[in-house]
Structures are given as C-alpha cells and as structure tokens.
Structure 1
Amino acid sequence: MKFKNVEPQQFDCTRTAMRPFGCMELWAGNERAHRSLILAGLESDVIAVPSGGDKGGDLSAVFSCSDNTARVVLADCVGHGYTASGVARHVHQLLHKFQDIRDTAGLLAALNDAFTLSNEQSGDPLRLTTVVTGTFDGTSGEFNFAYAAHPRMLLWRGHERRFLELGEGLEGFPLGYSTGETYSQQSVRLNHGDLIL
C-alpha cells in the first residue's frame, strides 16, 4: 500500500471559530442510574430512581465546559412514565442547543423560550418542567446557580457542620409557563469538604 504525502495548502479550508465557552456532555439521562464523576476539582454522584418504570421525567446532565469548569442540570418534568419521559428527552435535546451559554440564568431563559414555543406549536396540553442548573469553577471554587421553580438545593458546610438552603429569592417560573421569563442567578464559594444536594 502506498501513501501520498498531502500538503495542507492543497485544501481550501476555513478555520473553525473559537468557542469562548464550549461544553461537552459527559453524561445525561432520565433512566435508573448511579453515576460517579470526578472533574474540575468536583466529585459528583448522580443517583436516579424513576417512579414506576425504567425511565421517568427526571433528567440529570453533567457537562465539562473546560479543564476547570463543570455544569450540572437537573430537570423534573411534570407527570409520570412515558409522557414525562418524552418531555425529559425534549429538554435534553434543547440542552444540546444551548449548552454553550455561560450564564446559568441565561441558559434557563433560552431553555424556557424554546420549550414554551415548542409546547405552543405542538397543540398538546401544557407541559411544565422545573430546572436547577449550576456551574462550578474548579480554579476559584465558585458555584453559580439558578432555578426555574425547582426545589432549593442544600449546601453542607463541612467546616461549620450544618446545612444551608441555597437561592433565596430565585424561585422563578417553571419552563413552559410563558416566553420572555427572566431568571436570576446567585453564587457561592465552595470549600474542601462542602457538599451540595
């Protein structure tokens, strides 16, 4: 077998634009699972047990957004079984469309508008989804988070040995309620031994 030497100037190529914040999905799903991941100085465990079946309406997704940045998205789609599972798959598809939005509140706003418009175009009954998303910077220890009507996370402060609720005032509307919703985000610095539930 003979190989021909190829010179780069032989091809008319355009350079790919640099993406300032590129996220890559490491794991996502709405099925029964227990996954452990270590990335960006963050250890994570995702435990999912759907009610009444192998798949359900709870979606969990973990993204690596750079060497030192990780994103987690949890969504709880209203309903059970096959219907809720279909909604979770749809939210997962939308996450891929907007995964490179750096701002956690901006990610929720983009997801909400696309999800709400797809609901209106489908003619199906109103579908709602609560979401919490957080982005962890392993260099600074900063954890930015935002809610779309999802129950609040708990922060275990290891050095204080107590739990704190995260996100007072960040409730927001669930995805699918109306377009044009704005969401707010907050930030907390995580220390060694801290835990978010």
Structure 2
Amino acid sequence: MTLTELRFCYLLAYDSLRRRYQPMEKTDPERMECMEVWGGNQAVQRTFITPGLKIYIDSQPYGQAPGGGDVYYLSSCASGRITRMLLADVSGHGELVSQTAVGLRDLMRRNVNYVKQTRFVRAMNRQFADLGEQGGFATALVSTFFATTMTYSLCNAGHPVPLVFRRGTSQWSELKNEASCSRPISDTPLGVVDEASYGQLDVRLEAGDMVLSFSDAVTESEDGDGRQLGEAGVLRLVRELGTQDSEEIVPALVERIRGLRDSNLRQDDATFLLGQATGGGPSMKNNLLAPLRFLRRIADHTRIA
C-alpha cells in the first residue's frame, strides 16, 4: 500500500470516528404513539416523549457495523400510561444477535399492556436458554414507567447497575436493591440458569428525576492509568459533569470517557438510555380510546440488522 493510500485510509477512519462521537444537535423530541414498539440494534440518537417521561437513547455498534449486540426497545401501551424500556447486551454478533433481537421484539409486543414486568423477564430467560447451547448469553435491563403513579420499576438480569438522579437533592446514586443480593440464584444473565429468579425494584420518581442505563462498554472503559471505570467510576464521572439537562448528559459523558483513553467506547457496542420524569399522565382522550386500541395491531417501528 502506498503512502497516499495509507493517508486516505487514515482520513476515512478519522472522519468515521469523528462523526460517531461528535455531540448530537438538539432536536425536538418525538412523541411515541399508543400501541407502538420502537427500537432495534442499529446506530441511533433519538429523543422520545411518552406520558410523564422523556427518553433519550444513544446507541453505536462496534466498528461502524450496521447492527450490533446491544438491543434496545421502547413500547407504549393502549392508553400511554405504561412505557417499557429494554436494554439488552447479547454476546456475539451476526445472525445469532439478529434472531435474539427479533425474539425480544416479539416479547415486547406481547407484553405491551402488562404493568408487571417480571413475567416478561422470566419469558426472556426461557426463550434465550438456547443461547447457552450456542455459546452465548445476554444481560438485560427491563424498566417500566407507570405514569399514573410516577413509578419506575426495574428488573436487572446481570447488567451494569443504572444511576438515578434526584432533582430534590441534585445528587446521582446507584439504583439497586441491596436485599436482592441475598438470593442465591437471582438477577443472573439471561439464558445462564433455567430457573433463575428476577426481582423487581420499584421507585417513585418526581418531576425532573432521571434514570441512566448503559451497556458494559461504559463500565469497561479505562481511566488514564488503564484501570476499568466500573460502576463506581461511571458514577463519579456523571457526578462531575455539572449538567442537569437530560439531552446534554449522555453527549457530555461520552466526551468525558473518550477523553480518558482513545480506545474507550470503540472496542464494543456502546449504548446509553436516559429517562427523565416530566410529570403528568395520559390524556382523557387516550384513556377513552384505549379499549378500541386493544382491537388493532401494534405498530412496529423497529429496525434490526
């Protein structure tokens, strides 16, 4: 390869990485419709609004691939009062990930109107038991926001622990249930143990509170000395950001992590999902139309590579 060709390849690679990690310009949030499922495993930077919640999602597959092992979905029920969010990290790539993403999407569709999500997570574990037979497994965070009571319910199947921001104290902390640690086989990655149990942590959110979820590419990023950040390191960085704007937090965190080490967030799929409570609930119109929406098909706005 000539020197000119090497320079050309370098410029292409630099431009690709620059576009991938440049801060996203603010755009008007999109309103999710009732009886809708959205998501997939492709690169995306979007903001959505559902009753009582604003959701920001940023997902970048490894190496500019068309699709990655990080799978994300959002759904809204017939009245709009139930918003479900799924962030899964499936080991491997290619056809295995695509099949798993399709299975997750189908489960999201079948459970779109169920408030309790432990049923959904147990079904995921049963469905993905065959991943182990193919040498793979998945971790996942399943979150459900019930606008009527401003309740955020979380099931964690072996995924990095999310962070919660309380507007009243202006403090970030880890969102986890210490009591669940006493159970011998609980909250394990999907498909590892057939009879694993999955607890549910319920927290009440106030307007302005936020919950930040992310894939393990974030916790496995390294500091300047080559040590992995881990969950404690990510929490420390988020606390140091100095911003409470939900649309600025993820871009600022990405920039901060990338500044620690050039290889950070480049060696694996990287996904962030931020939900902010906004207050309010479904409109009277949506409540009245909910019984009729049960009769129609769920809108599928997913993209799977």
Common topology (TM > 0.5)? yes
Q: Does 1:139 align with 2:151?
A: no
Partner Cα distance (1:94, 1:69) in 2: 15
Letter in 1 for 2:58: I
38, 47, 50: which is aligned to 2:61? 50
Output the TM-score relative to the length of structure 1: 0.77
Please list the CA deviations of residues 121-178 of structure 1 after superposition, one character each: whole Å capped at 9, or x if unmatched.
xxx5222010111111112111111111011110011121111111234561111113
Paired position in structure 1 for 2:128: 115
Output the TM-score relative to the length of structure 2: 0.51
Letter in 2 for 1:161: S
Letter in 2 for 1:63: S
Distance 1:87 1:69, change over 3 A: closer
Runs (4+) off by over 6 Å: none
Higher normalized helix content (fraction of residues): 2
Structure 1: gaps (5+ residues): 1-22
39, 45, 68: which is aligned to 1:28? 39
Paired position in structure 1 for 2:209: 194
- Counterpart contact for 1:119–1:127, Cα < 8 Å: yes
Paired position in structure 2 for 1:148: 157
| Identical positions, percent | 31
How far residue 94 of structure 1 moved from its aligned partner, in angstroms, is 3.8
Structure 2: gaps (5+ residues): 1-33, 181-185, 213-305
CA RMSD, Structure 1 to Structure 2 (Å)? 2.1
- Counterpart contact for 1:58–1:88, Cα < 8 Å: no
Q: Does 1:59 align with 2:71?
A: yes
Please list the CA deviations of residues 105-132 of structure 1 after superposition, one character each: whole Å capped at 9, or x if unmatched.
221111101221x447xxx522201011
Partner Cα distance (1:128, 1:157) in 2: 33
- Counterpart contact for 1:57–1:87, Cα < 8 Å: no
Partner Cα distance (2:117, 2:143) in 1: 7
Paired position in structure 2 for 1:102: 115
